[in-house]
């Protein structure tokens, strides 16, 4: 038997009209040229060039075309689909190109592309065409199942391979407007009335009379939508005994009366097919010109969309019962190493960019006393010295004060004790100078953090002594300045070290607590065991909660400052760059918005590496820039955070939904906590992609403009562009400038009419972010 008969039927044709028929299998109609109108179950679909429509099994349909149309039709048989998809008889598919859910556009193009390729292969009939056709058929089915499947109704489940049942249903579909009784149908089918009743109930799941009433109701919808006839006329035309029975059955099935249904679904009137003959009028197209047209269509569909590896999830949000929590806004600290770095124009430019696009409150520095910012006194015979040890500091501080930025100063234990008396005198002199030039109101905004790391040989009494000395010096000079201490904390043991236990008894002399959080500290990157990396899921959120609980248990409630942190990043420059982690950064920040006073970042890779004295780059910090002001993932993640404002109405592991004066904001994330070394394996990454069907109930009805930003490894990831445009001969500034200009998330704009439930699809690659602004249209 020919493959086209058992698996599929495909043809290119010009359609004048196709008579009403019940479809078997899945029928795809793809308009190459011209226009056709398809009626399915009493609804009209007007298809224009490159429109695609799917007709499900057992649906009654008919077609009318304009002059000179070219239509590609493909029927995939029930038998073929049953071989590969066991749930086919319980499914139906909604696929009409003009009404596609947002996020399905690429998948729809893939179906179009497979249809054209299938037609071309069928026409060529080279030695491998049967294999190619099987591949295209399966590709079409896979896209339909993954992107357009819905739960099947009774009609899709009917076994119309049963010739007797098929004959009965076709008769009912053609003659529903006439008087039909079970006895009449039994006689026409040469069956007894009782047998037909049992047989019909067994095959369809409902009684004969109810099945017939459903067909009549279905056809009455067309008259309600597309004619101006009265309710009484529609009832009589569709086989109902009277208007009362029609109205009663209609309300029972659709929940509203026919009159209300007509008002709620007012639509453009379309000419009925009833004036056309009931015989097919179509002509197959054999012209080579149409194959040329197919080639053009194929070239237009060059962005194939393959989704064979991704996970599929449904996210249903009912915002009729919102959680109602205002979004918090922690302050931001950007670390620049030493204060003298602010003399550099690129550093200043980066800080101002951060302030404008992300928000910036503090500039973090260290090495104030032992670095190069405060220079040594110069011997001079001048009565009044024209040189100053604070020249570099003054230039930097003038810049900060001008732009309303404060200092967050880290002072290490060793920085004081290397030459304790001298260094404290140096600090006092510097502060006197700053108070004289800038006033106490500005200096009072500074923060001083006393720092000693987790692993230390210094005892708790000594640490306490030095901290209290520093605290008293600072408070004596600047009573309202904030002085805090760094708290090393074990995530596993849930406590600090013995050397730092002293701070638990000195709460009255501590204004704030600084801490760090870094998943890289608790994993071994040489291990490829997924389970080990899953342990770090929600690490930042959980460590923050553990620290707050630990402090509260010891009677301490102080503001928390996240001074350094990271997501999983790998332990080499390569993995740290190629492992895209935008969603991990954003989720980490969203998880602690209400828990911390400030969040710290490094300004760029160059300063971070310099701070390591040329050693391998440390991985405890979150950098905003790469070299030459290229924006790293943390930068864009924080840009999304800044855009969020209003009331949080839904917040889950991988999403947040906010309502504000302009409408709504929705953030979707595909967070994957894995070994970053897997990021070099493309086939593995595909398995971590995620497709989400989002359904939102309770949005305010109306017209909206939807802005969608996609931030992933292909749209905004600096390292991807850096690798793609690199060469063994190096990069010049022209290439670097191009990389930085093209390094940004992708923006798409959609106009949406939202009524009742709003649904759409989003396909997120590894650690991708999809950010939506759903803005109410103003008329």
pLDDT digits (tens, 9 = 90+) for 516-544: 998 877 776 666 555 666 677 889 999 99
Superfamily grouping for domain 3-151+296-308: Jelly Rolls (2.60.120.10)
d(CA 602, CA 354) in angstroms, rounded, equals: 11
- By CB atoms closer than 10 A (0-12, 13-18, 19+), residue 73 is buried
pLDDT digits (tens, 9 = 90+) for 18-61: 887 778 889 999 999 899 999 887 688 999 999 999 999 878 88
The CA distances from residue 717 to 334, 720, 739, in Å, are 21, 6, 10
- Mean residue pLDDT of the chain comes to 85
Please tell me the predicted confidence (pLDDT) of residue 3: 62
The CA distances from residue 271 to 39, 173, 276, 698, in Å, are 11, 20, 11, 36
The CA distances from residue 72 to 90, 134, 232, 302, 317, in Å, are 27, 18, 41, 19, 39
Between 67 and 181, where is the model more confident? 181
d(CA 513, CA 560) in angstroms, rounded, equals: 5
What are the structure tokens assigned to 151, written together? 């739960």
Give yes or no for residue 87 having a pLDDT over 50.
yes
Helix axis angle, 105-124 to 129-147, nearest 10°: 160
In terms of Cα–Cα distance, which of 636, 611, 615, 635 is closest to 623? 635
- By CB atoms closer than 10 A (0-12, 13-18, 19+), residue 263 is exposed
Q: Do domains 3-151+296-308 and 158-264 have the same CATH topology?
A: no
In terms of Cα–Cα distance, which of 247, 222, 215 is closest to 232? 247
For the chain, the distance separating the N- and C-terminal CA atoms, rounded to the nearest angstrom, is 61
Q: What is the mean pLDDT of residues 742-763?
A: 90
pLDDT band at 377 (very low <50, low <70, confident <90, very high): low
pLDDT digits (tens, 9 = 90+) for 558-578: 999 999 998 877 666 666 677
Q: Which of 46-55, 272-281, 444-453, 561-570 has the lowest mean pLDDT?
A: 272-281
**CA 607, 608, 611, 616: dihedral to nearest 10 degrees?**
-130
What are the structure tokens assigned to 140, written together? 């079409």
Phi first, then psi, for residue 166 (nearest 5°) are -60, -45
Give yes or no for residue 90 having a pLDDT over 80.
yes
d(CA 382, CA 602) in angstroms, rounded, equals: 42
d(CA 155, CA 204) in angstroms, rounded, equals: 8
Query: String of b and e for 551-589 (b: at least 16 CB within 10 Å)?
Result: beeeebebebbbbbbbbbbbbeeebbbbbbbbbbbbbbb
Please tell me the predicted confidence (pLDDT) of residue 104: 84
Cβ distance 469 to 504 under 8 Å? no
Please tell me the predicted confidence (pLDDT) of residue 735: 83
Write down the residue that tokens 């405890």 correspond to: 620
Q: DSSP characters for 497-554? A: -GGGGGGGG-GGG-SEEEEEEEGGGG--TT---HHHHHTTTTHHHHHHHHHHHHHHHT
Give yes or no for residue 1 having a pLDDT over 80.
no
Write down the residue that tokens 């991807």 correspond to: 720
Give yes or no for residue 235 having a pLDDT over 50.
yes
d(CA 550, CA 494) in angstroms, rounded, equals: 7
Please tell me the predicted confidence (pLDDT) of residue 97: 93
- The overall pTM is greater than 0.95: no
The CA distances from residue 227 to 79, 258, 268, 329, 549, in Å, are 39, 13, 10, 57, 69
Give yes or no for residue 308 having a pLDDT over 50.
no
d(CA 376, CA 388) in angstroms, rounded, equals: 9
Phi first, then psi, for residue 374 (nearest 5°) are -90, 115
Please tell me the predicted confidence (pLDDT) of residue 614: 43
Query: String of b and e for 278-307 (b: at least 16 CB within 10 Å)?
Result: eeeebeebeeeebbeebeebbeebeeebeb
Please tell me the predicted confidence (pLDDT) of residue 304: 41
Q: Which fold has domain 158-264?
A: Arc Repressor Mutant, subunit A (1.10.10)
Write down the residue that tokens 């500074």 correspond to: 446
Beta bridge partners of residue 38, listed in sequence order? 45, 63
Q: Which of 49-53, 189-193, 225-229, 257-261 has the lowest mean pLDDT?
A: 225-229
Please tell me the predicted confidence (pLDDT) of residue 636: 95
d(CA 159, CA 38) in angstroms, rounded, equals: 24
Please tell me the predicted confidence (pLDDT) of residue 616: 47
Write down the residue that tokens 């979004």 correspond to: 327
Q: DSSP characters for 622-657? A: -EEE-GGGPBPHHHHHHHHHHH--SEEEEEETTEEE
Write down the residue that tokens 């919102």 correspond to: 322
d(CA 139, CA 122) in angstroms, rounded, equals: 16
Give yes or no for residue 302 having a pLDDT over 80.
no
What pairing do the DSSP bridges indicate for beta strands 482-486 and 512-518? Answer: parallel
H/E element, 29? strand 26-33
What are the structure tokens assigned to 120, written together? 């071309």
Write down the residue that tokens 């049953």 correspond to: 82
Write down the residue that tokens 């290229």 correspond to: 630
Q: DSSP characters for 397-438? A: HHHHHHTT-EEEEEEEHHHHHTTHHHHHHHHHHHHHHHHHHH
Q: DSSP characters for 300-341? A: HT------SS-EEEEEEEETTS---EEPP--EEEEE-SSGGG
**Domain segments of the chain: what residues?**
3-151+296-308, 158-264
Cβ distance 82 to 63 under 8 Å? no
């Amino acid at each position: 038997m020919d493959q086209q008969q058992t698996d599929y039927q495909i043809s290119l044709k010009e359609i004048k009209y196709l008579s009403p028929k019940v479809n078997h299998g899945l029928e795809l109609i793809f308009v190459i040229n011209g226009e056709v109108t398809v009626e399915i179950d009493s609804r009209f679909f007007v298809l224009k060039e490159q429109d695609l429509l799917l007709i499900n099994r057992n649906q009654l349909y008919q077609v009318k075309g304009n002059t000179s149309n070219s239509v590609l039709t493909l029927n995939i048989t029930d038998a073929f689909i049953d071989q590969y998809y066991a749930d086919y008889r319980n499914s139906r598919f909604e696929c009409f190109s003009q009404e596609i859910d947002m996020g399905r556009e690429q998948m729809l193009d893939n179906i179009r592309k497979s249809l054209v390729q299938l037609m071309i292969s069928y026409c060529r009939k080279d030695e491998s065409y049967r294999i190619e056709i099987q591949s295209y058929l399966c590709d079409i089915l896979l896209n339909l199942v993954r992107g357009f499947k819905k739960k099947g109704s009774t009609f899709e489940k009917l076994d119309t391979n049963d010739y007797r049942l098929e004959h009965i249903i076709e008769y009912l579909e053609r003659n529903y407007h006439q008087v039909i009784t079970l006895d009449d149908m039994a006689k026409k089918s040469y069956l007894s009335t009782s047998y037909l009743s049992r047989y019909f109930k067994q095959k369809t799941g409902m009684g004969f009379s109810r099945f017939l009433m459903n067909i009549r109701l279905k056809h009455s919808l067309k008259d309600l939508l597309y004619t101006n006839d009265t309710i009484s006329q529609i009832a009589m035309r569709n086989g109902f005994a009277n208007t009362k029975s029609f109205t009663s059955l209609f309300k029972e099935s659709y929940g509203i009366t026919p009159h209300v249904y007509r008002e709620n679904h007012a639509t453009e009137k379309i000419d009925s097919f009833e004036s056309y003959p009931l015989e097919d009028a179509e002509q197959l197209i054999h012209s080579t010109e149409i194959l040329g047209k197919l080639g053009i269509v194929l070239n237009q569909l060059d962005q194939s969309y393959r989704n064979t590896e991704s996970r599929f999830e449904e996210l249903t949000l009912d915002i009729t019962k919102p959680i109602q929590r205002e979004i918090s806004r922690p302050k931001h600290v950007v670390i620049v190493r030493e204060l003298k770095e602010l003399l550099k124009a690129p550093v200043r430019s980066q800080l101002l960019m951060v302030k404008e696009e992300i928000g910036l409150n503090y500039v973090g520095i260290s090495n104030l006393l032992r670095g190069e910012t405060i220079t040594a006194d110069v011997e001079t015979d001048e009565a009044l010295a024209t040189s100053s040890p604070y020249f570099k500091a003054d230039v930097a501080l003038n810049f900060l004060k001008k732009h309303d930025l404060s200092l967050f100063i880290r002072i290490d234990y060793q920085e004081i004790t290397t030459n304790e008396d001298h260094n404290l005198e140096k600090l006092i002199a510097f502060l006197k100078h700053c108070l004289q030039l800038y006033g106490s109101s500005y200096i009072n905004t500074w923060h001083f953090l006393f720092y000693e790391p987790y692993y230390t040989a210094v005892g708790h009494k000594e640490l306490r002594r030095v901290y209290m000395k520093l605290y008293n010096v600072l408070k004596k000079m600047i009573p309202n300045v904030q002085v805090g201490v760094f708290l090393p904390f074990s995530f596993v043991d849930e406590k600090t070290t013995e050397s730092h236990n002293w701070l638990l008894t000195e709460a009255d002399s501590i204004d704030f607590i600084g801490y760090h959080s870094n998943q890289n500290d608790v994993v071994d990157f040489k291990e490829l065991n997924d389970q080990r990396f899953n342990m770090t899921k929600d690490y930042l959120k959980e460590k923050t909660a553990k620290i707050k609980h630990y402090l509260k248990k010891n009677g301490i409630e102080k503001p928390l400052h996240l001074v350094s942190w990271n997501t999983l990043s790998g332990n080499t420059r390569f993995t740290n760059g190629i492992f895209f982690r935008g969603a991990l950064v954003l989720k980490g920040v969203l998880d602690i918005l209400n828990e911390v006073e400030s969040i710290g970042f490094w300004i760029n890779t160059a300063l971070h590496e310099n701070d390591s004295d040329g050693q391998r780059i440390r991985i405890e910090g979150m950098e905003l820039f790469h070299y030459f002001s290229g924006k790293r993932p943390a930068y864009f993640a924080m840009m999304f955070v800044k855009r969020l404002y209003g009331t949080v109405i839904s917040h889950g592991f991988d999403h947040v939904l906010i309502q504000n004066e302009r409408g709504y904001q929705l953030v979707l994330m595909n967070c994957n906590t894995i070994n970053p070394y897997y990021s070099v394996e493309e086939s593995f990454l595909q398995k971590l992609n995620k497709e989400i069907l989002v359904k939102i109930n309770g949005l305010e009805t109306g017209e909206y403009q939807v802005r969608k930003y996609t931030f992933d490894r292909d749209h905004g990831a600096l390292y991807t562009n850096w690798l793609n445009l690199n060469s063994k001969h190096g990069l010049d500034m022209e290439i670097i400038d191009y990389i930085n200009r093209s390094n940004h998330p992708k923006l798409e704009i959609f106009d949406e009419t939202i009524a009742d439930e709003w649904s759409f699809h989003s396909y997120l690659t590894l650690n991708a972010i999809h950010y939506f602004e759903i803005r109410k249209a103003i008329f």
